[in-house]
Amino acid sequence: MRWWRRYSECRKSLGSAMADSRNLYQEVILDHNRKPRNWGVLADATHKSEGLNPLCGDHIYLSLKLAGSNIEAVRFEGESCAICKASASMMTTLVKGKSQQDAEQMVNEFRDMATGKLDTSKEPHHLGRLTVFAGVRDLPTRVKCAILPWHTLHAALHSLTTTSTEADADPLQTPVIGT
């Protein structure tokens, strides 16, 4: 086979792989917006936080129920754009049943993926299906929409009642309390 044919086939398969990941991204966003998982407020929450992204107008409430260091239940609600809502919905499904430490690791990995510091196609991670959000790193205005639920989870785990993507201090740098 001539090199240029191989090249063009390679280009083609790369192109369709990228189209697949875009389609998957759109499907996930649509699905979680139509049917957000774990929507609402936990009546018996042990930890709560409110997250704001003034740049987009995203405003979410997150409530958690911890048993020891295990996240037994988690719910969210609020007004937000589709990316924020899908990210929050997916986050709740993935951190439920996890330890606080594992959830914090996902917070850091998600933040690193969304800001382009972690290449999930090459480096080890624990993000699973959340890698569909890797593409937001190329959309600077949407990065904060995708990260807000994770900021809010971090804040809730540290008993901070409010967090904002526009806070002076990076909320993810808040020292760990009680561990």
Query: Is residue 58 a contact point for Zn ion (CB under 5 A)?
Result: yes
Min dist CB 146 to Zn ion, Å, is: 8
**CA 28, CA 10: separation in Å to the nearest integer?**
27
**CB-wise, 84 or 86, nearer to Zn ion?**
84
The mark string for 28-57 relative to Zn ion (x by CB under 5 A, - otherwise) is ----------------------------x-
**CB-wise, 53 or 100, nearer to Zn ion?**
53
In the three-class reduction of DSSP (H, G, I as helix; E, B as strand; rest coil), residue 105 is classed as helix
**CA 174, CA 155: separation in Å to the nearest integer?**
8
Query: Is residue 104 a contact point for Zn ion (CB under 5 A)?
Result: no
Total site size for Zn ion, rule CB under 5 A: 5
| CA quadruple 85, 53, 166, 71: dihedral sign | negative
**CB-wise, 88 or 160, nearer to Zn ion?**
88
Q: Which of residues 80-99 bind Zn ion (CB under 5 A)?
A: 81, 84
Instruction: For residue 155, count CB atoms less than 10 angstroms from its CB and return exposed for 0-12, middle for 13-18, buried for 19 or more.
Output: buried
Supply 140's token pair.
């600077």
Which residues would be at the binding site for Zn ion (CB under 5 A)?
56, 58, 81, 84, 145
